[in-house]
Amino acid sequence: MVVGHIEVVPLLDAVGTLAELEEAYPGVPAKDWEPYRELYPELFAGSRWRVPVAVHLLRAGDTTVLVDTGVGPPGSFPMWRPEREGLLPGALEVLGVDRDEIDLVFLTHLHIDHLGWNADERGVVSFPNARYVVHREALAFARSNPDRPHIRRCVDSLVERFDVVEGDVELAPGLTAFVASGHYPGQMGVRIRSNGSEAVLIADVALHPALLDRPEWVYAFDDAPQTGTRAALLDEIRDRDVLVICGHYPGSGIGRVVTLDERVVWKEVA
Ligand SMILES: [Zn+2]
């Protein structure tokens, strides 16, 4: 996919089921999920939430950016039931991108499914030439739980490499990271603007596309309270010529948010 002059490549790292829907969204009765089961069948496995984890490679001029690094080596994510894991290194190889070609790793936040390939199984940095950009609050929150193995391997062992930011920042020409508060302290998304085209990578602002239609639904595992970012972003993306990118959505995770039969739905753009 191309946004103006910027290339956006989704790379699937893993897919699995994370939790019972009623655990993840305790206030939502099973019947309320029905319309979304029809719209997004790949995101359901019986009563469980089936979650793809894709990362995005962005090429902007001479700069190659990896947005998030997935779940990581198989077995890194004890909470979920994996179907497939550990796919990112192979996906990069198929694309012909060497690990040392990544100039910048941008971490939207530091949940376990967004940082897993920061380092490999032995704790050796995966992208040796990259700056690892993260928000100060996200880093501080992650480091407040130093006993978690994924934090030790993918955060504490790389602490010298982090390029810490505190607010909106240009990552490369046409790529601007913005603070998208809620879900995780210091969560950030990325706006892409190039040659009159626009896209927004929404991180986990609405981590199931049903939340685009039901922004009031509460996710039980948020580590920071929702602050209105979801509603504000919806106003910005709904029925507009803006591509909306999320690593937990079906297929490529690249689509548009449109009103269809009085529902707000995400439609993949092939
Ligand atoms: Zn996530």
Whether the Cβ atoms of residue 204 and residue 108 lie closer than 8 Å to each other: yes
CA 9/CA 25 separation, integer angstroms: 30
* pLDDT tens, position by position, 205-214: 999 999 999 9
Within 8 A by CB and 6+ apart from 93, the residues are: none
How far from 17 is each of 45, 53, 82, CA to CA, in Å?
A: 7, 11, 6
- Measured in Å, residue 183 CA sits from the centre of ligand 1 at 9
DSSP 3-state of 62: coil
- Measured in Å, residue 204 CA sits from the centre of ligand 1 at 6
CA 270/CA 267 separation, integer angstroms: 9
Looking at residue 121, what is its pLDDT?
A: 86
- Measured in Å, residue 76 CA sits from the centre of ligand 1 at 14
- Measured in Å, residue 242 CA sits from the centre of ligand 1 at 22
Looking at residue 123, what is its pLDDT?
A: 87
* pLDDT tens, position by position, 114-129: 999 999 988 899 999 9
Looking at residue 137, what is its pLDDT?
A: 97
Whether the Cβ atoms of residue 178 and residue 190 lie closer than 8 Å to each other: yes
Task: Quote the tokens at residue 239.
Answer: 């029925």
- Measured in Å, residue 34 CA sits from the centre of ligand 1 at 23
Residues of the chain with pLDDT under 70: none
Pinpoint the alpha helices (H) of 99-180. 136-143, 149-154
CA 47/CA 50 separation, integer angstroms: 9
- Measured in Å, residue 139 CA sits from the centre of ligand 1 at 16
Give the Cβ contact number of residue 197 at 10 Å. 16
Looking at residue 157, what is its pLDDT?
A: 86
Looking at residue 147, what is its pLDDT?
A: 85
- Measured in Å, residue 263 CA sits from the centre of ligand 1 at 24
- Measured in Å, residue 184 CA sits from the centre of ligand 1 at 10
